Amino acid sequence: MIPFYDQQSVFAAARLSGLSFRIANAIQAVTAIAAVLVLAWVWNGNCSYRLKAAALAICGLVATPYLFDYDLTIVGVGIAWLAIEGLERGFLPYEKSVLALAWFAPIADRTVARFALIPLSPILNIVLIAFIAVLATRSQSGEMKKFAWTGC
């Protein structure tokens, strides 16, 4: 059996925190459904292709219960699309910091999860989806041209 600290899914994070198999499965199911709904909403909206591509990469990672640290190379695709989007329209507060942390998280994921019992990537991937949802909301409401975001 592969230890839960070697896995980077929401399911593994729930199990690592001591939750039962059934509760971890329920949390994974709710998270996966939410990721699919965000993805469908973003793709059906009038967002930029960059946001749609980032959502596809990140939501796909959050939806699967079997995610290992070597699978996190896909996060790089989502980060790249979000960075390109941010360079064009400006960054949300803390967006650059979260992108940088998400970029470097796979290096430390196993160690942090093993000794501190804190899975970094599932948390960061959900935060990235939240950024995508905020950007998509502002894009679809026409606010993207009115604001220039800065921040770390």
Give per-residue pLDDT as tens, 123-134.
Answer: 999 999 999 999
Q: Does residue 149 fall inside a structural domain?
A: no
> Mean pLDDT for the chain?
90
The closest of 72, 73, 99 to 84, measured between CA atoms, is 99
> Is residue 97 a part of any domain in this protein?
yes
Residue at 32 is within a domain = yes
Alpha-carbon distance of 26 to 92, in angstroms, equals 32
What distance in Å separates the CA atoms of residue 110 and residue 106, rounded to the nearest whole number? 8
Tens of pLDDT, residue by residue over 67-81, are 988 899 999 999 999
Q: Is residue 147 part of a domain?
A: no
DSSP 90: B
Q: What is the pLDDT of residue 44?
A: 93
The verdict on residue 110 lying in a domain is: yes
Q: How many domains does the chain have?
A: 1
> Is 40 within a domain?
yes
Mean pLDDT of 15-25: 96
Assess if residue 152 is contained within a domain.
no
Whole-model pTM above 0.85? yes
Domain assignment of residue 98, given as a range: 4-140
